[in-house]
Amino acid sequence: MFGCARVVYNDCLHLRDQCHAAGQKVTDTEVQRRVITLAKATPERAWLGEVSSVALIQACNDARRAYQNWFDSLAGRRKGRKIRHPRPRRKHGRQSIRLTRNGFALHGARLYVARIGDVPVRWSRPLPSQPSSVTVIREPDGRYYASFVVERAAAPLTACDREVGIDLGLVSLVATSDGELIANPRLLRAKERKLARAQRSLSRKQKGSASRAKARRRVAVVHRKVREARLDHAHKLALRLVRDNQAIYAEDLCVSGLVRTRLARSVSDAGWSQLVRLIEEKAARYGRTFAKIGRFEPTSQACSACGVKDGPKPLDVRAWQCAACGAVHDRDINAAKNILAAGRADRLNARGAGVRPPSLVAAGAEAGTHRSAA
């Protein structure tokens, strides 16, 4: 089923590319008809008939979405970094199929997948509602996951009057305006040697051999452990920030712009975007406010006590004294205080005018470099 969905996805991309190159318009229905219905009738793709068509249709939809995103990005209709042409799905690596209501069912504790049958599941938690769809994933380390789309009621916490600004950094993962520095668990680096060893071992194995497959799995396992530990830490940190504060403000960082610089390893290691996403989700769930300050602010240059801009400072300057008022600042905590002030100002503005202020999100290059220039 994974293989069929992958082939259909790739055929969709190929067909759309061909039509695009020939200057032909092709409707979504026509794409689906050609890569599924007509393809099934050919000897090369006859095996598509052996699996549930629900997964194939979803693969078609995924390819359409990927193609649309790429087009929107080209036309400048999409925020964020430019995205590239969708890549074909590969046989190695993560595999997934998506099934809507008519492609799966729950039989007690088992998951019924159309044309596959009942699959035993080790549930991580009870489902809060009837799932509307399920994604079955096979990770490169050989583990299978079922991820359900469910509806969950919001669970607002009792209101409190604390607000916090957070600065996402490299030295500390998070600095808060309350003066707290939360360490960055440099998990990837700590396990890097282990990972490097596993990867070296993989590169020495002969292509197509059984030992290569084994070595590849070992690399995938180390990756998974790092990923899980990082996610766990991010969940706990996000929950703590959301529970303790009524509003949380953060900078609108164009993380992807930074990732390509020499800071790449540390940045992806820190997992900023993951953390921000979790804070956003938890804030929505618990009735808290999360806002990104939607404009470029030189938060690490201005003194949070008197507001005087002290000029850019190299990244290795961790603490400084304001020449105007004499206040001594930790670089990141000072930035967090400025973020809190900017976030509050945005909020008051929005309330006063009755509308949200136009958010002038910093352009990728600006946002991507201002931290190292600041």
Only one residue has tokens 């970094």, namely 81
CB of 250 to Zn ion, least distance (A): 23
CA distance 275 to 256: 14
Nearer CB in complex with Zn ion: 229/305 = 305
Which residue out of 163, 167, 252, 269 is catalytically annotated?
Answer: 167
Nearer CB in complex with Zn ion: 233/329 = 329
Residue among 119, 151, 124 nearest 136 (CA): 119
**Amino acid at position 112, single letter:** Y
Q: Which residues have C-beta within 8 Å of that of residue 2, sequence separation ≥ 6?
A: 95, 96, 97, 138
Q: What values do phi and psi take at 292, rounded to 5? A: -95, 135
Q: Annotated catalytic, 192?
A: no
Q: Is the dihedral angle over the CA atoms 33, 34, 36, 41 positive or is it negative?
A: positive
CB of 299 within 8 A of CB of 335?
yes
User: Phi-psi region for residue 179, left (φ > 0), alpha (ψ -120 to 50) or beta?
Assistant: left
CA distance 50 to 52: 7
CB of 100 within 8 A of CB of 135?
no
Nearer CB in complex with Zn ion: 306/348 = 306
With CB under 5 A as the rule, give the number of residues binding Zn ion. 7
Q: Annotated catalytic, 178?
A: no
Nearer CB in complex with Zn ion: 26/327 = 327
CA distance 318 to 306: 19
Q: Which of residues 91-130 bind Zn ion (CB under 5 A)?
A: none
CA distance 317 to 183: 18
CB of 301 to Zn ion, least distance (A): 11
CB of 310 to Zn ion, least distance (A): 7
Rounded (10°) angle between helices 2-21 and 53-74: 40
CB of 324 to Zn ion, least distance (A): 5
Nearer CB in complex with Zn ion: 263/305 = 305
Q: Annotated catalytic, 251?
A: yes
Which residue out of 62, 163, 310, 332 is catalytically annotated?
Answer: 332
Nearer CB in complex with Zn ion: 181/305 = 305
Q: Which of residues 278-337 bind Zn ion (CB under 5 A)?
A: 303, 305-306, 322, 324-325, 327
Which residue out of 11, 62, 163, 251 is catalytically annotated?
Answer: 251
Q: Is 119 exposed, middle or buried (0-12, 13-18, 19+ CB in 10 A)?
A: middle
Only one residue has tokens 């201002």, namely 370
The site map against Zn ion for 240-279 (x = CB under 5 A) is ----------------------------------------
Element (H, E) at 304: none
CB of 300 to Zn ion, least distance (A): 14
Nearer CB in complex with Zn ion: 19/305 = 305
Length of the chain: 374
Nearer CB in complex with Zn ion: 16/329 = 329
CA distance 125 to 138: 19
Q: Which residues have C-beta within 8 Å of that of residue 141, sequence separation ≥ 6?
A: 217, 220, 221, 223, 224
CB of 5 within 8 A of CB of 103?
no
Site residues (vs Zn ion, CB under 5 A): 303, 305-306, 322, 324-325, 327
Catalytic residues: 167, 251, 332
